[in-house]
Each structure stands twice: as C-alpha cells, then as structure tokens.
Structure 1
Amino acid sequence: MQPDGFQMSWLLLALDWLIRLVALLWIPTRTTPGAARSWLLLVGFVPLLGLPLYLLMGHPWLSARRVRRQAQVSRRIRRQQALQHEQRWIPDDDTVAAEIVPLVERQGDFMPTHGNAVELLDDYHGALRALIDDIDGAAERVHLLYYLMFDDAVGEAMVAALERASARGVRCRVLLDAVGAKRGLRRYRRRLRSAGVDVQAMMPGGLRWRRSGRMDLRNHRKIALVDGRVGHVGSQNLAGPDFIAGFPNRELVARVKGPVVAHLEAVFTSDWYVETGQALEVLSTPASTVADVAAQLLPSGPAYPFANARDAVNALIHLARRELVLVTPYFVPDEATLAALRIAALSGVRVQLVLSASNNQRLTWWAQQSYYDELLRAGVRIALHQPHFLHAKHLRVDDELALVGSINVDIRSFALNAEIGLLAYDAGLVAQLRTIEQDYLAHALQLDLAQWRRRPAWQRSREGIARLADALM
C-alpha cells in the first residue's frame, strides 16, 4: 500500500529533523567550533543538501597512505639535519627569532640555517625572466612545484625552457596541482613528456579523490629548484599577470641560494614521494654563499599533525613588539588570528594590513570586509591596494623577521592547502621588504572607520552573511 501525501509529508519531516539531529551530534566532534558552526547552519537550512556536502567537503581528511608517507619523509629530514650541526643558525636570546624558531622546527621539520642569499623579486615579468634564465643555465636537474600553470604566453615560455633543458640532458621533473593547473596539464602534459620531462599531477580530482583525501584539498605551493644551487619560492604562479581578466596580479618571489635550497628540494622530493611513492635521491647540501642570511622553511598542510601555518602566523603576531605588517590577498581569519591582531594593536603595536582593493573571489571579498570594523576600532590600519590585484603574501615583524611564501590568511591556507613559507631572520632583507611595502602603501587607500561605517546597511548584511560561510571558502 502506497503512503498517501499526508504520510509522505510526515516521513520527509522526520527525515529532515533526523538529519539535523545527526549533524548536531556528529559534526562538532570532527571539526573546529568555527567550521562546525558554518556547517550546522547550512544543514539547518537545507538538510538534504548540507549533509551530503559535509560528507564530501566538511572534514579535511587525507588518506592514511599520504599521512604515513609525510611522516616517513619528516623523519628522514630530521635525521639528515641532525648530521649538519655546522649549518644550524642560533638566534640571539630575547629576540622574536629565538621564540619562533623552535615552533617552526618542531612542526615543519626544518632548522634555521645561516649562509644563505635571498633576493626579493617584486617585478612580475622580471621574476619570470629570472626563473627562465636559471632553467636555461641548468646542468643537472630542474624541479618545479606549482599550484597553477596556464596555457598562455608564460606557459609556452616555461615549456620551451624545459624542452631546451631536457634536450641538453638535464633531468626535469614537474609537479602541478591537478585542479589549479588543469589548463596547463591539458595543454602541455603530453608535449612535456614527449620531450623527456617527468610531469605529475598532484591531488587528482574526479573519482580518484577518494584515494587521496577530501576532494577540495589542494597543493598551493610555488617552488622552483635548479641544480640544487638556486631556488625560487613565493606567491607567483606559472601564468601571465592577467590570467584572470580584470585582475592583473602583483606578486613577490624570493630567489635563494645556500643551504636553504637543499631544504626546498626536500619539500619537493617529499611531495613527489607522497604523490607517486617514488623516493628521489637528489638531496644535496649547497655551500654557504657570500651573503649570510639566516633562513628557515615553514611547510604546512593537512598531512602534518598540526596547523603549522596558522600557529606560526598567530605566534608571530603575538611576538611583535613595535610593528607588524601583513600582506595577503585573501583575509578571512579564524577567531584566534582575529584576536591576535586585535590584541597586538590594543597593546600598542603598529599593525598594518595591506589588502587588495579588488578581489577575484566575490564571497571571500564580502566576508573579508566584515572584519574591517572590529579591526579598525582596535587600532589596526587597513590599506586597500588599488592598481593591481595584490596577490603577494608576506608578513614582517618589527625589523627582525620576514615571512614570504604562498600562505594566505584564511581557513583554506591554514587547514586545507599544502603551503610553503620562507622565514628570513635578517635586518637587511627586512629593510628591502619594508621598501616594497611602502610602494604598496603609496598606491593604496587607508580605510577610515567613520567613513567605513557610512556604507549601506544592505552591504553590512551581505558581509555578515558571507562571514557565516567562512569555513566553506
């Protein structure tokens, strides 16, 4: 006997509330309170859609095989560094570096080293030319690890450089994120492989995601290595500055030499092993350079036991004594980061956020704006850079320390993406970064609290609603 419409309505109502109850009991035990709030709100409004979405994307799980492989390479990295005492840099007592070094090393595996040279590349096309020139000078190997590669003029130039290198007998390996570099992989994978370049896609999408982890986990790192002697790390992808129409990017890349290059190569070989199961015996120890910059790597991602990027960024904010400058294109902080910024400003630290006046992700932009009022009230300065989409990501603490890399200040960078940061403990390099920041600010609008509060009520409502979805971004 088929149930009538009345009975069917009651069955649907019961299922609706059953889903809500199960979500209420289950979701908070598997994720952070902030993320649980967003998911429970979605399930509460649309249970039949919210629960399946949570099952697909709610918990940042990674396959046991990937977690096990990361643990294996972490142990290997630590064993190798234990034999390299002469390269370890020891910070002075009572400094920001002395406080942050142990945290970064315990979470991300890498000790700080001295004897490095670090060059900051602020010119988009200049940074690409420097990378291609380094590849053209390669004699042994080229390793590229990038989130995004486009099928544009930059993609063509990079592929041509790899083809030239491979033709000279240079061993070339390329790791590209399967989603971020989808267009580049589709266009160039077969061509590169036919030239002898080993190309691998990271974190594949489609049905294969079940063997990798949560389907929206991504490898967001940008690393290039040539012969184990020079490395590039930063925010810039393998694409032209206008690969998103209307949002020409401005980036920052660090070109490095010295012992830290071997550590960058260890990150590459770790990701290669986690993705393919193939262990590359290419780790080297470049000699110290004429320069003597102390540097340390901060890798992070869901394969690590802790949220390395989030913890390090929050610790650095708390450690600032006089000045903190934070540059990021995507600013959707969790409660701990928001509180850290507010406390720093109220404690007398000059806190300056430099964000982009335009944004290619509308929901993120709206959510980002919802934090401005609270931060401005606490004394945080917020500048909106106008000429470009400011995609650079870096942080400066006083005159002591700079963090440059791929890390955004949002839940995606803190919990979902594999990221990389380079910490430089050097007053000269920090002064260079300050000069770059001043140029950002010369082309930026400083927000005024009174003026900001005059925005329409509908805009404030839109921002508040978008903020509720912070865990879904």
Structure 2
Amino acid sequence: MSRFDVLSWTTLYLASEWIIRLVMLIVVPFRRSPEAAKGWLLFVFFLPWPALLLYHVIGRPNYPRWRRERFARLPKAFAGVTARIAAATERQEPDLPENLRQAAVLIRNLGRFSNVDGNGIELLSDYDGSIGRLVEDIDGAARHVHLLFYIFADDRTGWRVIDALARAVERGVTCRVLIDALGSRAWAPRVTEALRKRGVEVHLVLPVGLLRRRSARADLRNHRKIAVIDGVVGYVGSQNIVDADFKPGITNRELVVRVTGPVVLELQGVFAADWFLETQEALDAPDLFPAPMRTGNAVAQVLPSGPDYPEAGIGLLIEALVHGARRRVVVTTPYFIPNEALLRAMATAVLRGVEVHLVLSKPVDQILVSLAQRSYYTELLAAGVRIHLYKDRLLHAKHLSIDRRISLIGSSNVDMRSFTLNSEVSLIVFDRTVTAALHAEQEEYFAASEELSLETWRARPLASKIVENIARLVSPLL
C-alpha cells in the first residue's frame, strides 16, 4: 500500500470518528437521563467505534420487539385477572393519612396495583431459615406453587427447593418456575432438566444467544425474587435460591418478607404477567386468585418496575419517599449508584432536619461498581448523610424505611441498572409494627458496621480518589 493510500485511509478513519461523535451528540441525549448521557458521550469521545458498536447492542433500555408486542397485549389478555384482583381486594382499601395516601397513589400509578389492608407481614433475615420456611409452605401447598428467581442453583439450597417441588407435584400440585437465563446461566441446564424430570413447568426468562430467533439483550434481566403458594402465601425480597456462600470468599446476608393476605394476589399478578411474556399462556383460572382472608393489620401494595413500564418506577418512588420524610430515612443496598435527583433528595432531607442513613456492604463482589460507589461518599458525608459499612458479610439486602410508617423491601438496588434496566419487584408496607421490626434489623446493621467520617474519608490516598472518579464517569453504564 502506498503512502498516499495509508494517508487516505487514516484521514477517512479520523473523519468517521468525528462523524460518529457529532451524530451521537444528537442521538444519545434523546430520552435519556443526563447522567447516562454523560457516560455514553464520554465513551463516544474517547472510543467512537467501540462505543457505537456497544450502543447498538445495549444503548437503549428497551426489550426486543417481540417482547414489547407481548407486553402490549397484556391488558387484553389479563382483563379477567385484573378484574379478579380488583374485586377481591376492593373491600380492603384502607383510609390512609394524606401523606401516606399520596405515596400510595404514586405507587399505584407507577405499578398499577392499589394499597390493600389486612396483610400479615413477617421479616426473615436468617438465610437458611427463610429457605426452610419456603420449603415448609411448598410442602403445605394444595393447588399451585409459582417461583420466579434471578438465580436458581443446583447446590444444597437449590436441591432443598427442587425436592420440595417434586413432592408437591406428586401430590397433584401444579408447579411453575421462571428462572432468569443469564442470572442462572451457571446452573440453568441442570436445574431445568431436574425440574422437568419431576413434572415442574419451567422456563428460562429472556434467554440470550447469537443464533436464537428471539434472543433478549444481555443487559436487560428479570431480577425479581417472588414465590406464591396457593395464592395465599407470598415471598419477596433480595434472596435467591442459592447457597449463601456461592461466591468464593463471600457470604451473603439477605432480607426476605413472608406475606399473607390480599397483597399476595398482587404478587401473583406479577408472576402471571411474567409467565405470559415468556409463554403466551394466560394464567387466569379462578383458583389462582382466591378470595383473600384478613391475616393481619398491615397495609401494603406491590410495585413492579422495569423497562416494560413507561417510568423508572422504583427510582421515582425512592426519590419521592426521601423528599416526604420528616424524621428518619435508612437506605440499605449492596450497590449504590444514585442519580442526581436522589443525591439532592438525600442532601435536602438532611437540611430539613431528617436523619439520613446509608447502609452499604464493606465486603464487595463487583469491584468496578464498588469504586464508582465510593466516589459519592465525600459529597454524601459533606451533606450530613451517615454512611455505615457493614463488615461481617456481603449485605445483599435491599430495603428502605421512612420515619415510623413506611417500609420498602424488594429486589431493587439503588443504582441505574435497577432503576432502568432490570425488572424488579418491591413490597411497600404502611405499618408502624413492620417498620419497627425493620428498624430493629437496621440497628443490627449499625452495630456491625464501620461508620465513615468525612475527615477520615478525605484522607484516603490520591490514587484511590482518581480511580474512583474515573469509575464514576462510567457509572451510568454499569
């Protein structure tokens, strides 16, 4: 190749990079948060061609067309289910105080489920104990068992559940299982084979593959953890069906809610919708949505969120709850990559005299996310937010308490991925007793944590600050 040809190709390549930069400057900010836009544009500026290719693959938080078309058919396919849930719970709608009523209306508008009274709520923080309770409930099932989990392993914990499902099938119970294809990729072939051999209906959610006719995007996952037994007992929280120490050198601490009462029908509705999206089978038999019994005094509602929904529901809700706090906010999450709106909400809450606590895990399992997370500590501490680093285990629990009345427990982290990319589910409870129980759990975290001080944090090495801030620049892409 002549020198002229080399120069021509070099000029053409450089020109193409600037064309990509200019075009992406217009395209990227369209219908995207400023934080995410900045991350993408920085990537585009330094590496135009790799950024363009990656943007083509994961640049938009949208499911494939076939999935969007199925979701559009949900209202019609589930008209009977929606009516059945509404009829079963209409007598359970409570008269909340004005400030809580506004929160309940926001949740309903974001996720389509109303707040209902008469629920029994039990917090389960013992890892093996929560699996034991689930197995007990499966062993007591008479009609159906529905499980939806991001991770379902074939380890000791997984086999406890598999064996319980097998026993249920032998009794004539219909068992259906949904497992995220990527979250469970290390175990999925063996788990699905074991379940199918035992008569369990099982499907992988959002399978990914280059040669698949209907492949999903690798970054859009179903991160929910739901169990529903006979439409009368439900589980929701942070815990997967996997051993607590499935990651070498790390043991998880979780929090799960066992719930009974009318709100279980809403969890059933979330599972039924996800089942339809994967199988196109509408689960609308009357026995799936039995008339609820009053089992307690807690008011609760379910919020499903994810790319299927027009708003980033869980992110908006957390911001609104922090803005509405009057006394105390405690946010517990393993991954904290906030947007600017949430940072402002937390800082403003402190200025209003609200005690704001952020509980994070000192042991980490995702280095880049941890580095980006650490870059926010200085401004949070300077604003008066108290940061607690839980030392004993990887604190994988995900929950929020507001004052003495509102608890939010579910599968969602406080990061961009959970806000916009993952399908998540949260249980919101308006109850003093439940919030007091959650406060007791949080006090255990405080006692086992190292609380950061602004002076000590600012004294960390310069190299750490540089690496953390570089990670922060790409945090909207994590």
Normalising by structure 1, report the TM-score.
0.96
Following superposition, the deviation at residue 338 of structure 1 comes to 1.1
Distance change (3 Å), C-alpha of 1:66 and 1:79:
farther
Which residue of structure 1 aligns with residue 389 of structure 2?
384
Give the corresponding residue for 2:96.
Answer: 92
Task: State the distance in 1 between where 2:49 and 2:88 align.
Answer: 56
Q: Output one character per residue of 1:294-350: Cα deviation in whole Å (capped at 9) or x when no partner.
A: 110011010011111111111111010010011000000011111111111121100
Structure 1: any 5+ residue segments left out of the alignment?
A: none
Counterparts in 2 of 1:422-441, with a 5 A limit? Answer: 422-441=427-446
CA distance in 1, matches of 2:356, 2:125: 22
Matching residue of 1:121: 124
Instruction: Please tell me the residue identity of whatever aligns with 2:8.
Output: Q
Deviation at 1:163, TM superposition (A): 1.3
Partner of 1:408: 413
1:231-270 to 2 correspondences below 5 Å: 231-270=234-273
1:6-28 CA distances to partner (integer Å, 9 max, x unpaired)?
21211111112122122112111
Query: 3-state SS of the aligned residue for 1:318?
Result: helix
Please give the per-residue CA displacement for 1:52-108, whole angstroms capped at 9, x wherever unaligned.
Answer: 00111111112344334334435735544443464332343333x212000110110
Unaligned runs of 5+ in 2: none
Mapped contact 1:393–1:405 kept (Cα < 8 A): yes
Q: Is 70-79 or 23-32 further displaced after alignment? A: 70-79
Distance 1:82 1:125, change over 3 A: closer
Q: Which amino acid aligns with 1:4?
A: D
**1:164-194 deviations in Å (ceiling 9; x for gaps):** 1112211111000000011231112122112
Question: In 1, are the aligned partners of 2:166 and 2:198 still within 8 Å (CA)?
Answer: yes
In structure 1, distance between residues paired with 2:125 and 2:291:
25
Alpha-carbon spacing, 1:404–1:74, altered in 2? closer, same or farther (3 Å): farther
Of 297, 307, 314, the residue aligned with 1:309 is 314
The whole-number CA distance in structure 2 between the counterparts of 1:178 and 1:287 is: 33
Mapped partners of 1:208, 1:114: distance in 2: 48
Deviation at 1:287, TM superposition (A): 2.6
Aligned residues: 472
Match of 1:83 in 2: 87
C-alpha distance in structure 2 between counterparts of 1:186 and 1:30, whole Å: 38
Aligned residue runs from structure 1 range 42-441, under 5 A: 42-74=43-75, 76=79, 78-84=82-88, 86-95=90-99, 97-207=100-210, 211=214, 213-282=216-285, 283-441=288-446
- For residues 358 and 111 of structure 1, the distance between their equivalents in structure 2, rounded to whole angstroms, comes to 38
% same residue: 46
> Comparing 456-465 with 277-286, which one deviates more in the overlay?
277-286
- Write the distance in 1 (CA, Å) between the matches of 2:213 and 2:40: 21
Deviates most, 85-94 or 269-278: 85-94
TM-superposed CA distance for 1:276, in Å, is 1.3
Amino acid paired to 2:120: A
SS in 2 for 1:332: coil
CA distance in 2, matches of 1:335, 1:438: 28
User: For the residues of structure 2 that align with 1:134 and 1:29, how far apart are their CA atoms?
Assistant: 48
CA distance in 1, matches of 2:6, 2:227: 63
Whole-Å Cα distance in 2 between the matches of residues 313 and 209 of structure 1? Answer: 37
Q: Residues 207 and 429 from structure 1, CA distance in 2 versus in 1: closer, same or farther, beyond 3 angstroms? A: same
Specify whether residues 81 and 162 from structure 1 end up closer, same or farther in structure 2 by C-alpha distance, changes over 3 A only: closer
How far off its partner does 1:214 sit? Answer: 3.5
Q: Tell me by how many angstroms 1:30 deviates.
A: 4.4
Measured in 1, the distance between the counterparts of 2:160 and 2:291 equals 28
AA aligned to 2:375 is S
Per-residue CA deviations over 1:391-422 (Å, capped at 9, x if unaligned) read 00000000001001101100000000000000
Secondary structure of the corresponding residue to residue 442 of structure 2: helix
Deviation string, structure 1 residues 214-248 (Cα, Å, up to 9, x no partner): 33100000001111111111000000110111220
- Alignment RMSD (CA, Å): 1.7
CA drift at 1:209 = 7.3
* Distance change >3 Å, CA 267–CA 57, structure 1 → 2: same
Does the C-alpha gap of structure 1 residues 211 and 191 become closer, same or farther in structure 2, counting only changes over 3 Å?
Answer: same
Which digits, 9 at most, give the CA deviation of each residue in 1:357-406, with x for residues without a partner?
11101011001011111011111100000001000000000000100110
Supply the AA of the counterpart residue of 2:227: A
Q: Secondary structure at 2:401's aligned position in 1?
A: strand
CA contact (8 A) 2:88 2:262 kept: no
